[in-house]
């Protein structure tokens, strides 16, 4: 498998380059550190400033990531969290497919950001096959399994139909997505980001929803172990209280009460999740797989 590099700090042209090297070996004098095996020049996905203007140590600016034409699919991408992920990916040079069952909203967003649209019911094997055909010979680099259903009911109020629908969308849909990505990714592998939930880390209201999000967490780890030899990284992201349309199911009083329990003292914004998704899709996370990342202001602690 070809190595995929490289993080290169910003530097003056007259100064020697300082980068990350495998095994601690430094390149020979005059050797371009961006050379991959075979002599192909690989540009870094973003450059890291050594110092901020205030003199403090530089930090990774994830918003500076460029995906250089890599193909990314975002399910549930027509609105809410998925739409914001699609916007950020397109703005950073990715070839994006907005995949959703909401055709009008999905097509409008795709036209706006210069992406493609795919009509996708994540529970339909036929729709996933059509999506793979739409990708053609272009290797998939990233999949965000973002589509989800959230109807938090008590155990007495949860019907078998509710339970089955949550399973089909949240769990079975994620399984079909992982299977699609494994087949669509090329020899260099790629990254799968499964959107789980804080409810996949602890007890929460909604037995049908909670069960599926715990399942996504476990499926992620199994997929990471099985697909790792192919260079495919699989991680789960666990948002807490994030201000998206999904929280329309909560009353204002519920939102206020639950937010008061967050150690950081506020609800999260969709961008808080997007930044982590971008990181996991980028080459900054080449050695991260099987992880479960809580984005919840400390609520799961």
Neighbour-count burial for 3-33, b at 16+ CB within 10 Å, e otherwise: eebbebeeeeeeeeeebeeeeeeeeeeeeeb
pLDDT of residue 243: 84
- Residue 96 burial (10 A CB sphere; 0-12, 13-18, 19+): buried
Q: What per-residue confidence (pLDDT) applies to 301?
A: 87
CA distance to 50, 107, 194, 243, per residue, from 82 (Å): 33, 14, 12, 13
* Helix, strand or coil, per DSSP, at residue 83: helix
Q: What is the DSSP letter of 230?
A: G
Q: Check residue 199 and give its pLDDT.
A: 77
CB 150 within 8 A of CB 195: no
- Are residues 78 and 100 in contact, defined by beta-carbon separation less than 8 angstroms? yes
Task: Report CA-CA distances (Å) from 235 to 51, 144, 222, 232, 295.
Answer: 30, 10, 10, 10, 13
Nearest Cα neighbor of 180 from 237, 101, 123, 221 is 123
Instruction: For the full predicted model, state whether its pTM sits above 0.75.
Output: yes
Distance CA(61)–CA(241), nearest Å, equals 24
pLDDT of the residue at 112: 97
Residues with Cβ within 8 Å of 147's Cβ and at least 6 positions away in sequence, in order, are 75, 76, 82, 99, 100, 120, 122, 169, 173
Specify the DSSP element, H or E, that contains 221: helix 207-227
Which sequence positions are flagged as catalytic?
209
pLDDT of 175 = 98
With CA atoms as reference, report the closest residue to 48 among 34, 35, 63, 36. Answer: 63
pLDDT given at position 203: 85
- Kindly state the tokens that stand for 171: 């769990």
Are residues 74 and 144 in contact, defined by beta-carbon separation less than 8 angstroms? yes
What pLDDT score does 245 carry?
72
Residues near 195 by Cβ (< 8 Å), separated by ≥ 6? Answer: 81, 144, 145, 146, 148, 216, 236, 237, 239, 273
Residue 41 — φ and ψ, nearest 5°?
-80, 125
**Mean pLDDT of each 10-residue bin along the chain, 301 residues long:** 36 32 36 36 33 35 79 96 95 97 98 98 98 95 96 93 96 98 96 91 88 96 98 96 78 85 90 94 96 93 87
Rounded distance between C-alpha atoms, residue 171 and residue 242, angstroms: 21
State residue 167's pLDDT score: 96
Euclidean distance between CA atoms 203 and 199, whole angstroms: 6
Cα Rg of the chain (Å, integer): 20
Q: Give the pLDDT of residue 62.
A: 56
88, HSE (Cβ side, Cα atoms, 13 Å): 24
């Amino acid at each position: 498998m070809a190595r995929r590099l490289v993080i290169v700090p910003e530097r003056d042209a007259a100064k020697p380059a300082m980068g990350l090297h495998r095994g601690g070996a430094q390149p020979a004098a005059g050797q371009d550190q961006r050379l991959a095996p075979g002599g192909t020049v690989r540009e870094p996905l973003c450059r890291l400033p050594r110092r901020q203007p205030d003199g403090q140590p530089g930090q990774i600016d994830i918003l500076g990531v460029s995906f250089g034409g890599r193909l990314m699919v975002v399910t549930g991408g027509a609105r809410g969290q998925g739409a914001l992920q699609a916007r950020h990916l397109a703005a950073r040079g990715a070839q994006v497919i907005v995949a959703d069952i909401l055709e009008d909203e999905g097509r409008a967003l795709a036209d706006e950001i210069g992406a493609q649209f795919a009509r996708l019911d994540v529970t339909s094997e036929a729709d996933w096959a059509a999506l793979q055909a739409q990708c053609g010979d272009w290797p998939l680099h990233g999949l965000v399994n973002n589509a989800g259903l959230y109807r938090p009911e008590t155990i007495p109020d949860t019907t078998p139909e509710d339970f089955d629908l949550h399973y089909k969308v949240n769990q079975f849909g994620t399984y079909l997505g992982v299977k699609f990505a494994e087949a669509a990714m090329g020899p260099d592998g790629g990254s799968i980001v499964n959107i789980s939930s804080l409810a996949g880390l602890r007890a929460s209201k909604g037995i049908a929803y909670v069960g599926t999000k715990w399942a996504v967490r476990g499926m992620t780890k199994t997929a990471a172990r099985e697909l790792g030899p192919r260079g495919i990284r699989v991680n789960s992201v666990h948002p807490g209280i994030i201000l998206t349309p999904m929280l329309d199911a909560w009353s204002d009083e519920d939102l206020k009460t639950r937010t008061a329990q967050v150690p950081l003292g506020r609800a999260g914004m969709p961008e808080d999740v997007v930044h982590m998704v971008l990181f996991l899709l980028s080459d900054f996370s080449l050695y991260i797989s099987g992880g479960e990342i809580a984005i919840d202001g400390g609520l799961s602690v």
